[in-house]
Amino acid sequence: MNIVILGGGSFGTALGNQISYNANNKVVLLLKDKEVEKEVNKHNTNSKYYPNRNLSKLLSASTNYSVLKDADVLFIAVSTAVIPEIIERIKPVLNPSTLIVNMAKGIFEEGQTIVSFLQEKLDHDNVITLKGASFSAEMIKSSPTLFTIGFKRKTQLNIIEEVIEGSYIYLDHTIDVFGVELLSALKNIYAILLGNIDAKFNAANTRFLFLTRAFSEMRTILKAMGGKEETLFLSCGIGDMSLSSLNDLSRNRTLGLLIGKGFYNESLQENTIVLEGVKTLKLINAVISEDLKKKLPLFKELTRFLIDKEGDSLKLNFNDIFKKNYKTVLTYGTFDLLHYGHMEILRKSRELGDRLIVGLSTDDFNLKKGKVCEINYKKRKQLLESLPFVDLVIPEKNWDQKVEDVLNHQADIFVMGDDWEDKFDFLNEHCEVLYLPRTKGISTTALKKAIKF
């Protein structure tokens, strides 16, 4: 199999060296430095990153992008910052059948992942992601290493399994490509925080107190942005976060240690790790809601310090961080022909609290309202219960049960669409009442007309 690894740094070299031990692979490091190209090809070394270490004789190097024409697999192993500028070099010579594997960590504007960016800019849909708990310094020594592969088609998984055969690289897997990409960016900013904590406290109890909270916040962000919760428990999530937060080989943890020791100055603010962390914070901060941010005290503090540049240290108030204001949200509806508009209002409702209860109109109640549903109550209930942001579905049998439901379920917030504006203000004496904007351009009535029920 013809394999090209874009990037001849420490990680690209370690990866190339590892998969070169599979004799069925022809592995080429695609570099920009002709001197490194000569060294790899003539001496089987890359002394800039691995002095006194011989590389596999089956690993070669090139500075010519034409090697991409015959590539079965292209691994992207460069920093996120340089990806946009290399796209134009790749596109003219990229084989349409090449499987592109993104290993760079980061996100672009409006939360766009690198995988999505590559698909769009290269007009190439055969792109997957490979991330995990891995230090190149250990991978070069053939330490067993676990990666998470995020893919869409089984053939993509089969190809990577074939590539790593005989190496010390192992896989867990998911079809949640977005989640893998997001977690690989998130873990870097929280690793900075954990380094800071160890510098300030140097206490195991406190370290794992904050690690637990960091995982909780990553889970909250992951779910809110559309990733799958179970992805957090793979190598790209809990593995990579633990590695980056707790090991001194981690650059992000080291940066946190320096900040915690009081070495955060102008030169450190221009550090590439700081800049990448600030960029990730800004991008995520721009796409998540203000209500969600209220659940993320660590994220908010990192934003205050790294983006707003307020003060010369991270300030962590334990009482604020672990103050739990548990909130139950209650909403009602018919939810016939469950569509995107329904999903959006339910998702936004769930973000307001910790538990979402949905009062679902029964078939008998709908008839009293003059509504005829295409899907019966039992099936509508099953559909709602399958959604990750719905915690409980209760029957709505009449107009007058809402006060009783609010009291019985101890609801803190009552939510309806803004087409019901002011209609339920009488509940204000029992809970907070909110009216959320409906999703424009979609409605159950319009759908029924379009499909001619």
For 311-346, the pLDDT digits (tens) are: 777 888 888 888 777 899 999 999 988 888 889 899
Q: How far apart are CA 157 and CA 168, in angstroms?
A: 17
Q: How far apart are CA 151 and CA 127, in angstroms?
A: 8
In CATH terms, the fold of domain 179-321 is: N-(1-d-carboxylethyl)-l-norvaline Dehydrogenase; domain 2 (1.10.1040)
- CATH 3.40.50.720 residue ranges for the chain: 2-175
Question: What is the residue whose two structure tokens read 């109640």?
Answer: 365
Q: Which residues are catalytic?
A: 369, 371
pLDDT score at 199: 94
- N-to-C CA span, the chain: 53
358-401 pLDDT tens trace: 999 999 999 998 888 889 999 999 999 999 889 999 999 999 99
Let me know the angle formed at the C-alpha of 372 by 366 and 376, rounded to the nearest 5 degrees.
80
Give this prediction's pTM.
Answer: 0.81
Architecture field, domain 328-450: 3-Layer(aba) Sandwich (3.40)
In CATH terms, the fold of domain 2-175 is: Rossmann fold (3.40.50)
Burial of 157 (0-12, 13-18, 19+ CB in 10 A): middle
DSSP letter for each residue of 228-264: -GGGGGSIIIIIHHHHHHH-TT-HHHHHHHHHHTT--
Q: How far apart are CA 379 and CA 393, in angstroms?
A: 12
What is the average pLDDT across 8-30? 96
177-221 pLDDT tens trace: 999 999 999 998 899 999 999 999 999 999 999 999 999 999 999
Nearest to 290 by CA among 351, 345, 339, 337: 351
- CATH 1.10.1040.10 residue ranges for the chain: 179-321
What does the chain come to in residues? 453
